[in-house]
């Protein structure tokens, strides 16, 4: 079951970003899913499915927003793994 979220924004916001309404809506969806991924709330697989793209395509989008595909805390986890090896 799908649900819809309505976000109200002034037209000049999309205009200031030099985007048409549909482009702006798409960008907001991408940004929202990138942020949820960054916060560890969803996986890259879930985000990619919601955006109708491959996981690799989603991971490539992360570069545009300076978001690492490694989750926060992975460095500590890897160091602990090395200590235990």
What are the boundaries of each domain within the chain? 17-84
Q: Angle between the 21-38 and 55-64 helix axes, to the nearest 10 degrees?
A: 100
How far is it, in rounded angstroms, from Cα 72 to Cα 75?
8
Q: What is the mean pLDDT of each run of 10 residues along the chain (85 residues)?
A: 86 89 93 93 93 95 89 63 75
CB 26 within 8 A of CB 14: no
> With the C-alpha atoms ordered 40, 49, 26, 23, is the resulting torsion angle positive or negative?
positive
**Number of residues in the chain:** 85
Q: What is the pTM of this model?
A: 0.77
CA–centroid distance for 59 within its chain: 9
How far is it, in rounded angstroms, from Cα 51 to Cα 84?
39
For residue 50, the model assigns a pLDDT of 95
């Amino acid at each position: 079951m799908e649900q819809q979220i309505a976000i109200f924004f002034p037209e000049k916001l999309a205009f200031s970003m030099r985007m048409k309404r549909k482009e702006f809506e798409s960008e907001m969806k991408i940004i929202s899913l990138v942020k949820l991924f960054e916060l560890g709330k969803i996986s890259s697989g879930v985000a990619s499915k919601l955006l109708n793209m491959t996981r690799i395509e989603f991971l490539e989008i992360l570069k545009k927003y300076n978001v690492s595909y490694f989750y926060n805390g992975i460095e500590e986890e890897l160091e602990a793994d090395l200590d235990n090896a």
